[in-house]
Amino acid sequence: MSGLVLIGAQWGDEGKGKITNYLAERADMVVRFQGGANAGHTVAVGDRTVVFHLLPSGISRPRATCVIGPGVVLDPLGLVAEIDTVSAQGIAVGRNLLVDVGAHLVLPYHKAVEAAEEAARGAGAIGTTHRGIGPAYADRCTREGIRAGELARFDRFRELFEQNAARRNELLVKFHGAPPVDVAAELARLEAAAARIAPHLADTPPLVRSALSEGKKVLFEGAQGSLLDVAFGTYPFVTSSHTTAAGVAAGAGVPPSAAGDVVGVAKAYTTRVGAGPFPTEAEGPAAELIRERGAERGATTGRPRRCGWFDAVAVRHSAELSGMGRIVLTKLDVLDAFERIPVCVAYEIDGRRVERFPRSTDDVARARPIFEDAPGWKRSTRDARATRDLPAAALEYVRRIERLCGVPVAAVSVGAAAHAIVEFQSTLP
């Protein structure tokens, strides 16, 4: 099987960009299959740090064809700005990028509506990124969306945009008391972006299926994390797409049987951005130390991330949902400073011990973590490149996570550098 699926096992920000970039050295094709510019995948390219939002994280690898699939919601203005940004950093974006004609567009009125709706929620705000992702997916479901292929027929795009913008402006002004979108100004910006994107447009699913049938290595790159899945996450504090491996078939246009092995990515601790329950959230000096050592600020929003300890209940849930055969554990080096490291092995909910992640978000919010302490190693792991370089206590911490989650750890990441990775015997493909 030449396909490989890379999925976040927590609430996002697990380091999928770095691992995608690492695996893309061996890939012929990298496919983004869901989400949009709400993703923030940070990658070290030489001595530079690059953040990808819409571009697949393999774009820095010249041999890989990078695909933005039909399951992605695409911000055309954001994509052009991102291409310009990475080009200025020495990453060429040309014929190696394909944008599916069926990807739905995120347009300025989506962002305006999302911002107005979040403001109206007040204290009950979900904590969205204000990137227009939810409204764009909503338009897709109500059959009011505009797809990327229309960018190549701008007269038709203009007509659709004007119709949709008129309805959204009425909602913004009359219901939310918010300013309307400037239709003429936005169309001028979008026309310039359309001319840039049109050469990249393609019917991508047949190309992806052909690559798989020819035995080429195809890497499917997930965005966000499994616990933010619209169906299986902590709803309503979730994203608007399917972030588990189940999203690959619909989001890339391939048969489920063709997607291949599933690798989960999890931090050696846990973080979350925005609102929603977080059973293992730490407070005080421990949380601040994790945040400082892990540089835990959102790559998309810049917001400080909520930080806490590894939650084996949650990661085991994610592994079962996606059929993860292996896990890559990232940011192990962040824990170098701790004498003792709590690991959540179960929850207590209303006096009961619970070892399965609850489907009810209210239950997750009431869950109290049952921790077992693991010994720390108080020694830097950042120069480790082989198993023998890791302290014995760090290796035992990894093995403990394997036992608790029921999935072997294939590798650990020990720093931001592209090759700051230790692969184990259950090596990555």
The residues assigned a catalytic role are 13, 41
CA 243/CA 34 separation, integer angstroms: 7
Q: Omega before 391 cis (within 30°)? A: no
Residues 6 or more apart in contact with residue 427 via CB below 8 angstroms: 410, 411
Quick one: which H or E segment has residue 77? helix 76-88
As a whole number of angstroms, the longest Cα–Cα distance in the chain is 65
Helices 133-141 + 108-121 axis angle, to 10: 110
Contact 254, 37 (CB under 8 A): no
Q: Which residue has the tokens 């396909």?
A: 3
Which residue in 229, 292, 286 sits closest to 11, CA to CA? 229
Helix then strand count (H, E) for the chain reads 12, 20
Quick one: which H or E segment has residue 104? strand 104-105
Which residue in 7, 2, 4, 50 sits closest to 265, CA to CA? 7
Residues in the chain: 429
CA 345/CA 143 separation, integer angstroms: 44
Which residue in 334, 325, 307, 338 sits closest to 402, CA to CA? 325
